[in-house]
A and B are shown apart, each in its own frame.
Chain A
Amino acid sequence: MKNRIPNRKAICDVLLEKAKEDKDIVVLCSDSRGSASLADFAEAYPEQFVETGIAEQDLVSIAAGLAHCGKKAFAASPACFLSTRSYEQCKVDVAYSNTNVKLIGISGGISYGALGMSHHSAQDIAAMSSVPNMRVYLPSDRFQTKKLVEELLKDEKPAYIRVGRNPVEDIYQEEDCPFEMDRATVLREGTDALLVACGEMVRPAYEAAAILEEEGIQTTVLDMYCVKPIDREAIIHAASSVKAVITVEEHAPFGGLGSMVSQIVAAECPRKVINIALPDAPVVTGTSQEVFDHYGMTAAGIAKAVKDVLSDE
């Protein structure tokens, strides 16, 4: 792997840069500044940093109180705790009260591979997406993460952003990262199958498309970093010209990207949809890569799933 910069570090870099001019940016951590790559921010701007200790509920409510008074609050905590331990605070104090809190779920999905189900966030997309007024973003690489955070700094609405712990291979480049807020990025276009992926599953989906191309199968690949509001138009447009749709996400099989894409395709342009996701069970122990390999959440596994569904048609 060439890239050594995880998406969480890309978030910190944007905040460090913007905080030079913007004294209303406040970062909050729950004893998570190291794992969130936000220690540099805490050191550079101690007056704009709030440590809540290991108290995720407090983290979110305090962020909401700060935001109510005009601060641009970024509350960072492991996604597993942020999205479930403090779920009610996210629902009531952030989404319902409509406070300008950006919830940063770090080490998302199965980043903490071997640490067990307590440390996996495979429910966060479903949980957060079902809350009115909460937006959900899973950026795919460090360049897209940077663009996303820059955009989020321009609005005053709640959002949940999930990033993984480990560096992921670049998809875009510093100078070439097409990005439109709340619009999926079309990575390639084909007429056999549509691959819709989010977060760190975009890279293997993109690689799967290259494998399939060698075998004469043409795919469209959508980087659906904006899981909510999801880009319906892009899905309908792309799905309408293919035989089958395959979704890929680092999430439980219910209530996530796959469910949302299935709903849209079923209603607007019915055709077969296959969801590649984590199982509805505690995942096997291992590094995240070992776990992905085990469940076929790799370029080869995704390519096989595409071939299987196309051969069934």
Chain B
Amino acid sequence: MELQELSRLAYDLRKDVVDMIVAGNGGHIGGDMSVMEILVTLYFKQMNISPENENDPDRDLFVMSKGHSVEAYYAVLAKKGFMEIEEVKKQFSQFGSKYIGHPNNKLPGIEMNSGSLGHGLPVCVGMALASRMDKRENRVYTVMGDGELAEGSVWEAVMAGHQYHLDNLCAVVDRNRLQISGNTEEIMGHDDLHERFRSFGWHVIDVADGNSIEQLCAALDEARRTKGCPTVLIANTIKGKGSAVMENKASWHHHVPSQEEYEQMIKDFMERKEALAV
């Protein structure tokens, strides 16, 4: 698919996410919206992963470290053919459902269970080490939230990634600048994030618009070309991206829209999609 088509797809998937959250009566909607283009870019433009090769040891590996954005992850995995979107919408968060509120590797396409923050990057360090031991050419990716970076275990892994020169490892930070209690800079600031990663020996790429598939693609291509150290993308995204109802509002970290809000969101998604002429 072309980049423009993928940008339009991201709005269709946003509708899937909101449907899921309304039906399941709960979900981390704000982060789902900010991370959407990151997931679409990874799954449709960058990673060698599909239902056909999900057991191939040479497949690219992905861990959704910010596991609470599972609704966006389900929507992308479904579009990729790992699961049926209508089944997900029907069963998400229902009693006894396998589609729970965080990633679970009993489901196809999901490598590791997550939900507790600060686990994805260290797990990916292990995966990247294993790939190197086996002399594989695959790459390992994770997406972290910016609030998540307050977890000390993240920085243990940042050290290890540098120590072992893991250039097959790429982390993406969904830098939407909001966490559940408010602005990240007021909770535990990260404004010097680039410098922090650089000082730990990582190659840092700032993605000015982290909701631009074109910019994300260029950055991930650069990461692929970067040798001798791991790469981190600081993807400057908008929490709640897609509708003015929720954009840049911390209160939408975990929130279920009313019928009125739902209708406005769907309208906004479609308008923005149509604005992206093919």
Q: Which A residues form the contact surface with B (CB < 8 A)?
A: 26, 47-48, 50, 52-53, 55, 57-58, 61-71, 73, 88-89, 92-93, 96-98
Most interface-central of B116, B130, B157, B160 (chain A CB within 10 A)? B130
Known: A58-B153, A93-B119. A65 touches B127 (CB 8 A): yes
Interface pick from B91-99, B107-115, B262-270: B107-115
B278 within 8 A of A: no
Quote the shortest CB–CB distance from A109 to chain B (angstroms).
26
Contact residues in B for A93 (Cβ distance below 8 Å): 112-113, 119, 122-123
Q: What 10 A-B pairs have minimum CB-CB distances, sorted nearest first?
A: A65-B126, A61-B122, A69-B130, A58-B156, A62-B126, A55-B156, A65-B123, A65-B127, A66-B126, A57-B153
- Do residues B133 and A26 form an inter-chain contact, with CB atoms below 8 A? yes
Helix, strand, loop or mixed for chain B's interface? helix
Contacts of B130 in A (CB 8 A): 26, 65-66, 68-71
Q: Does B134 belong to the interface (CB within 8 Å)?
A: yes
Q: Which residues of A contact B124 (CB under 8 A)?
A: 65
For the complex, give the distance between the alpha carbons of A55 and B122 in Å: 11
B113 & A58 in contact (Cβ 8 Å cutoff):
no
- In the complex, chain A residues whose CB is within 8 Å of the CB of B157: 58, 61-62
Q: Are B159 and A55 in contact (CB under 8 A)?
A: yes
**Contact (Cβ within 8 A) A71 B159:** no
**What residue of chain A has the Cβ atom nearest to residue B116's Cβ?**
A92
Give the complex CA separation of A71 and B126 in angstroms.
10
Interface size on B, residues (CB 8 A): 30
Q: Are the C-beta atoms of B123 and A61 separated by less than 8 Å?
A: yes
- How far is B111's CA from A66's CA once the two chains are assembled, in angstroms? 12
B125 on interface, CB distance cutoff 8 Å? yes
In the complex, A68→B119 CA distance in Å? 14
A62 and B123 form a contact (CB under 8 A): yes
Asked if residues A53 and B159 are in contact (CB atoms below 8 Å), the reply is: yes
A50 to B126, CA, bound (A): 9
B57: chain A residues within 8 A (beta carbon): 69-70
Q: Report Cα–Cα, A89/B119, bound state, in Å.
A: 7
CA distance A47 to B133 in the complex (A): 7
Q: Write the nearest CB–CB distance from A237 to chain B, whole angstroms.
A: 36
